[in-house]
Amino acid sequence: MLDSPLRQQTECAPICYLGLGSNLGQREVHLRQAIKLLRAFMVVSAISPVYETPPWGVVDQPDFLNICVAGSTHLPPLPLLSALKRIENEMGRRATYRWGPRLIDIDLLFYGDLILETERLTIPHPHLAARAFVLAPLADIAPGYLHPQTKNSVAEMLAEVDQTGLRRLAAPLFAEDAHV
């Protein structure tokens, strides 16, 4: 079978790791839809199990479902960020308040080993080492991945954070996609 043009374009591209979350409406449906839309510009290589987690920052809101996705893309970091924001907007995400409820949230966690700091984007994601809701699903698909600045593995970072309230769902919502 011939590879798709997208797969050929991304053959030498760095592996990107994304964190996805939803705490409004049909959370599972929103995560599935976001993955479907990601595939327009990303070759998805792994999808973590789903975790249900308490909200972070503002706690008076519904619990989140969180996953991490690994994949490669031909898009450079800033156009990738724009594409992720476009997905959020297309799916109906509306700006509320910082750390408020959201239909879908897609964060660019790592872009290969790139270290980048601009007004619009910081890579690696500046708060990922403090967030169990990011590190737990990320550890399922990339436990040995090293943070390019701290040189700590994802598994090591996860061991250092409070995991209270973190719950891995027994039946993965994306079992058919886990390793595509």
- Catalytic sites, residue numbers: 93, 102, 105, 107
What token pair was written down for 74? 């031909």
| DSSP codes of every residue in 70-90 | EEE-SS-HHHHHHHHHHHHHH
3-state secondary structure of 123: strand
Q: Which residues contact 18 (CB under 8 A, 6 or more apart)?
A: 38, 68, 69, 70, 71, 84, 106, 107, 108, 109
Nearest alpha-carbon partner for 79 in 44, 111, 52:
111
Q: Are 67 and 92 in contact (CB under 8 A)?
A: no
3-state secondary structure of 107: strand
